[in-house]
Structure 1
Amino acid sequence: MGLDRPGRVLAALSVIPALAVAGWLLAGLPLLMLGWFAPLPAGLLGLSAAALLCWAGTRRLGKVVEATWRQVAGVVAVAVASGVFNVVMHAEQVIVRRDPATYAQYAAWIAGHGSLPIPTQAAAFGGADPSLVFDSVGFYPMDGAMVPQFMPGPPMLFAVGDWLGIPFAIPAVLGGLAVLTMGGVVARLAGARWAVPASAVLAVSLPVLYTSRSTFSEIPSLVLLFGGLALAHDALGRPGVPGGSSKGGSGWGRGLLAGLAFGLAVLVRVDGLRDVLPVLAFAGLLIAMRRFAKPQGALGLPLLAGLVVGAGAGMLAAYVLARPYLSYLATSVKPLLLICAAVLLLTVVGTAAAPVLARIRLPKWAPTAGAGLVVLLMIGLYVRPWLQTVTRIPTTMEDRRTELMIQQTQQVNHLPVDGTRLYFENSLHWVIWYVGLPVVVLATLAAAVLVRRLLRNGRPFEWLLPLAVVGWTTVTTLVRPEITPDHPWAARRLVPIVIPGLILLASYGLAWLRDQAWLRDLAVRRGPAWLSGPRLRRWGMALAVLAVLVPPAVTSIGTAFTPVERGEAAAVAAMCAKIPPNASVLIVERVTGDRFTQLVRGMCDRPAAKVALDKDKDPDVAPEAEVRRLIERVRATGRVPVVLAAEAGQVSPYGPASQVMALVSRQDERSLVDPPDGTWSLRINAWMALP
């Protein structure tokens, strides 16, 4: 028992993040839907649920990893260092320009009000009017109110920071927990000796640094998905049925928790539905195995039950709280739902036909062919830029805005101007930027070895689910990343599974190479006399760690020590203080309306609306006659009309102009064909007039 203790500690520590996040989300969602998401009820129920799941998921661990206290301390140290570093370098994205600020505004609203949807407060402007526009970027109209664009999972986590007065620290804390989770998964599947290097590679990778410093959804998704892999691995090491021995019961419950963690990834990101499809198929396989009295088969039903509960909660939240967002994503969501239905149907048919399918024997060449297909697929993705140019002809207003942004970025990057370019053909090269060619090569080698072994004899069975999840999501993501292709922005798409998955596989590749006797014999025969036995292993391990750690660190160094959008929180607080308490804010300029409408409403606690534009006359500034008419409507309610815009000349027709924001900061670079290596300047101005 004493020799197992470090491994048990590492195993427990690495699943606690996913269990705690799952417990908080499970308790928080019904409170949010009931309008009771406040510190006291959320704290009582959320912390209790998190503690209960952590207890259930860490008690009576079965097969544990073999680890030393030094390895455990190393993983924890890397995770803590990652969290502290990103807290220090945190971003302050609250002015709505891209998704992080939308998440920040979402979190600020539910932290302060505890409910959705967001009321328009039209009465503060004299009632509804065709010239009053209450929605803005990231906030859609629904049933006479507004709802945020995204899934509620991440904002329910980020709201904790608002309650505690540390709104910019929670993403970094989650980033540190993601590194800890990663270390535990690598220790389970590749060996504890590789857990510290793998954790370090993940921690220094630029996309992880980037998404750990601001309010993104990718890091919570990583925690849940890789926590689910760890829980599923632990459950497979101790299968059983409920009501049986304590040994069996704990494995059954851990399978339920694994499914729940996977399913709740849908509550964090709609893309989570795609990511967990292999889990559905794997649960069907386990159910089929139960018909052959295989002990792992007992985990099929609990894994499926947890998956259905978690994913069901996510889809319910999407329908009730983010329906316009689903409509916006309809061209992607509908095919995804059809794929889910097809996978479900195939799983049911495969489970029913298990006795027949079990009699099928693969040809002898199948394992080698499977391994070869893995290598050919990666080669195809690598050479894709020389064979294909991915483009999209704009069909929607959003597409046209993206086209314009790409054109502007191409001009800055001194590239040929073609706004239809999406650069998706470079997706594997993006991965190489951020984790290095050695990791990609080792991961490809490991995937080929694992596919060959699994097709040959079904072992190592514990690798089947991780390989399916990592392989499926990596391929589908790299084929169509579906994101604006400037970097580091586009790098976020690689965070939940692609980058940690390849690091996991690369760790297994290192372990496999280390165990190859022919490789050691070759090095001893052909190498210098002093390179033998233990010395070869020590030097080989050190060089391997350097080979996988140095490339991502070199890529990250250009931006790692430069926080972006600093000063936004202070600038917003100063602006809010200058707006009269009983004001109704009319925003008369397009960009200011996009950036500030929800910010004024949520953070300044003042009613806010955009004045509709006459795009035939001026696509950027509202007609003066309409603004004056709305000013009189506000006055008639007894409130103070305030006019807000980006420039003094845009508000001066209505009264003396005063500058309420003059922010000078840094923003992310927008690089299209090279890894980002710096930041750009950022200036945001806002002017106010009291008519």
Structure 2
Amino acid sequence: MADVQIEELNSGDGVRPPRAGNLAGAVLARGGVALAGVVVLIDLLAAVLVPVHGWRPPLVVPLVLLLVAFSAPLVRRVPAVAVPSWTTLACVAIAVGHGVWAGLTHAEHVVLRRDAGSYALYTQWISTHHGLQIPSQLDAFGGAAALADPAFRLGSPAFFQVTTGGGAEIVPQFFLGAPAVYSLGWWTTGGFAGVFVMPAIASAAALLALAGLAARLVGPRWAVLATAALAICQPMLHAARSTYSEPVALLVVAAAAALLVDATRATGRAAVSLGWAAGLGFGFAGLIRVDALREVSLLLPVCAVLALRKHPAARPIAFGALFGTAIAVVPAVLLSRPYLGNIGGSLVPLVGLTVVLGAGAWVAARWGTAIGRRLPTIARLPELTAGLVLLVGVVLAARPLFMTVHQSAADPGSKVVAGLQLRQGLTVDGGRTYAEHSVQWLSWYVGPLVLVAALLTFAGLAGLSVRWWRSDETEVPGWLGPAVVALGSIVLTLYRPGITPDHPWADRRMVPIVFPAVIIAAVAFLAWLVRRMRTGPALKVTVATVGAVAVLLPTWAATAPVAGAAGRTEVGEVAAAQKVCAQLDPSLDAVVALDARSANEWPQLIRGLCGVPASSVKIADPDRGADAVRGIVARITEADRRPVLIAAQDEGRTLMKQVDVSQEPQVVADLATREDQRYLERRPDGTDPLGVQLWMIRL
């Protein structure tokens, strides 16, 4: 593969050199970019309007439509070439089919246990209250005096309690980008029904953007195979079924990567405008996920290489990425500061990596040519570079043989891991992250052959990039930027996934970059293999068919057990939540959760959906638990509110009876549903029973 560049793979697709595109070519090249642009515009509006409580449909919808109309001429500047109509129709059909599939089998996660629930409740709040922060309604619990009580809590997982002077407010954990997009679903249907299908719509749009990227890199015919493999990939489907940020992030990053290809292939003013668009896309992805900073940092060395080759897109890409990141930092700091502090252990190294790579890129762009002349010439450097990539891949895959990765035992995730280990009959070691198995996680869903093919592609491209750099060729390969960013992101993600390692929850970490990059690279290897064959068309078709089956079959085998309605999870939680709300009076009640599970699952749901002040207790000494609760109850009563105690576990019900022996707790929610499996050492292949119960007494 060392003597063929990826864009040369188009030679067998019947596509002529770039010229004015047909409608099919325009849809394939511009469709995903246009949809990503809409998402970015929504998120930028949200960054301005949410802090001032202006996130209201009568204001937002006209502004979005106006900005889209203003931006439409910019989308038409994205280059498009003629492609076979069937390829675009197939890619669009696959994307739409994936979206419908995910939408019809969506989860209903609102009882707060994992990130999907927190995103759903975040969306519900800004959709109905039009802004942030979330008032704590501290007066219902006795005002500032309540904050001095060590047993009293206002916050819950993903919703931080932040003290402000003599009061407090609730700050949601994650970034604003995905909830802002999903809020359009709430406004459309007037409830969670619209929110639950928005990730599926975003995932379908992301597949269209990925199809455009694959068509640019491998060819439109091969883009159909890549799109199909991604559409049936279980982690992609899992993220699309639940209110996660990954589908939205994937859409923006895929579109930015496609624009990066266009920018490096263009010249003159076109390269400048496309470079700005690509850089801004990567930077604005930071409105959705903090991980976007990783892609920006990896983009900077690419800009240095472009600058050394005097490419007009070099500075626009770099400045656009840095400017977009700077804009994204503002709402992150303003609205998600506790979250940034909570992930400091991951964020600080990422910021450091960006500084180091940025400084190195600046030095290389300024003095790289002079430095290069003084360096000794290394024989067979392209082969050595390709070998290094192969070595890195082998070492990452072999880590379970010589490494067991741990995190601090004080990390909150350690208790979760220890509990899962105990239930699954594993050695209890809560500090384990299982990160050494990250390549195996990939293999579960795409198969080992796809991983080997992708690794060979990246190794070949690494060698090609060195050979190109040492040549006198001035034209920059279009694959250079996406390959560098993708390979760097894959290595960093596999090295340190940074997520609680139960599956399929953990696998979504690899949705925005890793799975798409691996599958497109594997398809590129198959395309290269077919085009290098010096045989007749029949044998080429046979090899291509066998290769396509090798790509699709393992992926489908992993997805099939949860492909249909049996893969739906958390069904009925909205109805259960509404039953709870029906038992509460927003003008009178103040809720106190008494055990760990109810304190995790219900305070923000009751606060946001029911409109009732909600809190929880954390009991340090079980023998004095009833006294601690009575103190909170007394302050609620003094505030002319009715104390309502809730529990989801036996210890909470026991505490209820200790506080008030005169009444029996009432069941206000009793739901038997299903949740995703939570395996640590094997691929999930179904769902597990989940019971959602809540007991209540009114004092």
TM-score, structure 2 length as denominator? 0.90
1:404 lines up with 2:415 in the alignment = yes
Asked if 2 retains the 8 angstrom alpha-carbon contact of 1:65 and 1:192, the reply is no
The correspondence of residues 49-60 of structure 1 with structure 2, limited to 5 A, is 49-56=67-74, 58-60=75-77
CA shift for structure 1 position 112: 1.2
1:541 lines up with 2:544 in the alignment = yes
Q: Residue 605 of structure 1 aligns to which amino acid in structure 2?
A: G
Query: 2:307 maps to what in 1?
Result: 287
Query: 2:506 maps to what in 1?
Result: 490
Asked if 2 retains the 8 angstrom alpha-carbon contact of 1:206 and 1:556, the reply is yes
Query: 2:125 maps to what in 1?
Result: 109
Query: 2:100 maps to what in 1?
Result: 84
1:563 lines up with 2:571 in the alignment = no
CA shift for structure 1 position 154: 1.2
Asked if 2 retains the 8 angstrom alpha-carbon contact of 1:23 and 1:51, the reply is no
CA shift for structure 1 position 551: 0.2
Can you give the 5+ residue segments of structure 1 that lack an aligned partner in the other structure? 242-247, 291-296, 522-532
Return closer, same or farther for 1:40/1:287 CA change in 2, 3 Å cut-off. Answer: farther
Asked if 1 retains the 8 angstrom alpha-carbon contact of 2:593 and 2:615, the reply is yes
Q: 1:95 aligns with which of 90, 111, 134?
A: 111
Asked if 2 retains the 8 angstrom alpha-carbon contact of 1:23 and 1:47, the reply is no
Asked if 2 retains the 8 angstrom alpha-carbon contact of 1:25 and 1:46, the reply is no
Asked if 1 retains the 8 angstrom alpha-carbon contact of 2:619 and 2:628, the reply is no
Asked if 1 retains the 8 angstrom alpha-carbon contact of 2:46 and 2:176, the reply is no
Q: Which has the larger displacement, 218-227 or 563-572?
A: 218-227
Asked if 1 retains the 8 angstrom alpha-carbon contact of 2:263 and 2:272, the reply is yes
CA shift for structure 1 position 3: 6.5
What whole-Å deviation, never above 9, does each CA across 1:348-378 have from its counterpart, x for those lacking one? 1111114414646853400011111122221
Query: 1:345 maps to what in 2?
Result: 359
Return closer, same or farther for 1:122/1:452 CA change in 2, 3 Å cut-off. Answer: same
SS at 2:309's partner residue?
helix
Query: 2:244 maps to what in 1?
Result: 216
Q: 1:507 aligns with which of 517, 523, 530?
A: 523
Asked if 1 retains the 8 angstrom alpha-carbon contact of 2:457 and 2:525, the reply is yes
Mapped partners of 1:54, 1:478: distance in 2: 38
1:670 lines up with 2:678 in the alignment = yes
Query: 1:146 maps to what in 2?
Result: 170
Mapped partners of 1:373, 1:471: distance in 2: 13
What whole-Å deviation, never above 9, does each CA across 1:136-191 have from its counterpart, x for those lacking one? 11111233212111111111112112212211010111111111111111110011
What whole-Å deviation, never above 9, does each CA across 1:46-66 have from its counterpart, x for those lacking one? 33334434541x21443x355
Mapped partners of 1:563, 1:335: distance in 2: 37
CA shift for structure 1 position 587: 1.9
The correspondence of residues 250-329 of structure 1 with structure 2, limited to 5 A, is 251-290=271-310, 297-329=311-343
Mapped partners of 1:421, 1:126: distance in 2: 42
CA shift for structure 1 position 24: 1.2
Q: 2:613 aligns with which of 589, 607, 613?
A: 607
Return closer, same or farther for 1:387/1:22 CA change in 2, 3 Å cut-off. Answer: same
CA shift for structure 1 position 414: 2.8
Query: How many matched pairs?
Result: 654
Q: Residue 284 of structure 2 aligns to which amino acid in structure 1?
A: L
CA shift for structure 1 position 543: 1.1
Mapped partners of 1:122, 1:3: distance in 2: 61
Mapped partners of 2:20, 2:180: distance in 1: 39
Q: Which has the larger displacement, 39-48 or 88-97?
A: 39-48
1:387 lines up with 2:393 in the alignment = no
What whole-Å deviation, never above 9, does each CA across 1:124-144 have from its counterpart, x for those lacking one? 223131333211111112332
Query: 2:12 maps to what in 1?
Result: none
SS at 1:276's partner residue?
helix
Mapped partners of 1:374, 1:361: distance in 2: 22
Return closer, same or farther for 1:587/1:309 CA change in 2, 3 Å cut-off. Answer: same
Query: 1:529 maps to what in 2?
Result: none
Q: 1:679 aligns with which of 666, 687, 692?
A: 687
Mapped partners of 2:463, 2:96: distance in 1: 37
TM-score, structure 1 length as denominator? 0.91
Mapped partners of 1:356, 1:2: distance in 2: 41
Asked if 1 retains the 8 angstrom alpha-carbon contact of 2:20 and 2:81, the reply is no
Asked if 1 retains the 8 angstrom alpha-carbon contact of 2:592 and 2:644, the reply is yes
CA shift for structure 1 position 232: 1.5
Q: 1:238 aligns with which of 266, 288, 306?
A: 266
Q: Which has the larger displacement, 659-668 or 154-163?
A: 154-163
Asked if 1 retains the 8 angstrom alpha-carbon contact of 2:590 and 2:636, the reply is yes
Asked if 1 retains the 8 angstrom alpha-carbon contact of 2:591 and 2:645, the reply is yes
Query: 1:294 maps to what in 2?
Result: none
Query: 1:334 maps to what in 2?
Result: 348
The correspondence of residues 440-455 of structure 1 with structure 2, limited to 5 A, is 440-455=451-466
What whole-Å deviation, never above 9, does each CA across 1:410-441 have from its counterpart, x for those lacking one? 23333233223221111111111111122111
CA shift for structure 1 position 282: 2.0
Mapped partners of 1:329, 1:60: distance in 2: 39
Query: 1:586 maps to what in 2?
Result: 592
Query: 1:525 maps to what in 2?
Result: none
Mapped partners of 1:265, 1:288: distance in 2: 27
CA shift for structure 1 position 407: 2.5
Mapped partners of 1:435, 1:197: distance in 2: 13
CA shift for structure 1 position 342: 1.2
What whole-Å deviation, never above 9, does each CA across 1:382-435 have from its counterpart, x for those lacking one? 2221121222341x3xx2x42332232223333233223221111111111111
CA shift for structure 1 position 656: 4.5
Asked if 2 retains the 8 angstrom alpha-carbon contact of 1:659 and 1:685, the reply is yes
Mapped partners of 1:66, 1:362: distance in 2: 43
Mapped partners of 1:356, 1:154: distance in 2: 45
Asked if 1 retains the 8 angstrom alpha-carbon contact of 2:406 and 2:433, the reply is yes
Query: 1:640 maps to what in 2?
Result: 642
Q: Residue 325 of structure 2 aligns to which amino acid in structure 1?
A: A
SS at 1:322's partner residue?
helix
Q: Residue 113 of structure 2 aligns to which amino acid in structure 1?
A: R
Can you give the 5+ residue segments of structure 2 that lack an aligned partner in the other structure? 1-18, 470-474
Q: Residue 482 of structure 1 aligns to which amino acid in structure 2?
A: G
Q: Residue 363 of structure 2 aligns to which amino acid in structure 1?
A: V
Q: Which has the larger displacement, 13-22 or 569-578?
A: 13-22
Asked if 1 retains the 8 angstrom alpha-carbon contact of 2:113 and 2:601, the reply is yes
SS at 1:116's partner residue?
coil
What whole-Å deviation, never above 9, does each CA across 1:574-620 have from its counterpart, x for those lacking one? 11111123212122222201111111101111111113x331226xx
Query: 1:181 maps to what in 2?
Result: 209
Mapped partners of 2:452, 2:82: distance in 1: 27
Asked if 1 retains the 8 angstrom alpha-carbon contact of 2:501 and 2:680, the reply is yes
Query: 2:4 maps to what in 1?
Result: none
SS at 1:600's partner residue?
helix
What whole-Å deviation, never above 9, does each CA across 1:247-303 have from its counterpart, x for those lacking one? x3xx4222212111100121211111112212222233333433xxxxxx2212222
1:690 lines up with 2:698 in the alignment = yes
Query: 1:530 maps to what in 2?
Result: none
Mapped partners of 1:672, 1:65: distance in 2: 46
Query: 1:119 maps to what in 2?
Result: 135
Asked if 2 retains the 8 angstrom alpha-carbon contact of 1:259 and 1:302, the reply is yes
Mapped partners of 2:461, 2:265: distance in 1: 19
Mapped partners of 1:629, 1:497: distance in 2: 51
Mapped partners of 2:20, 2:348: distance in 1: 53
Q: 1:158 aligns with which of 173, 176, 182?
A: 182
SS at 1:670's partner residue?
coil
Return closer, same or farther for 1:25/1:51 CA change in 2, 3 Å cut-off. Answer: farther
Asked if 2 retains the 8 angstrom alpha-carbon contact of 1:107 and 1:156, the reply is yes
Query: 1:576 maps to what in 2?
Result: 581
SS at 1:684's partner residue?
strand
Q: 2:57 aligns with which of 39, 47, 51?
A: 39
CA shift for structure 1 position 309: 2.5
Q: Residue 157 of structure 1 aligns to which amino acid in structure 2?
A: V
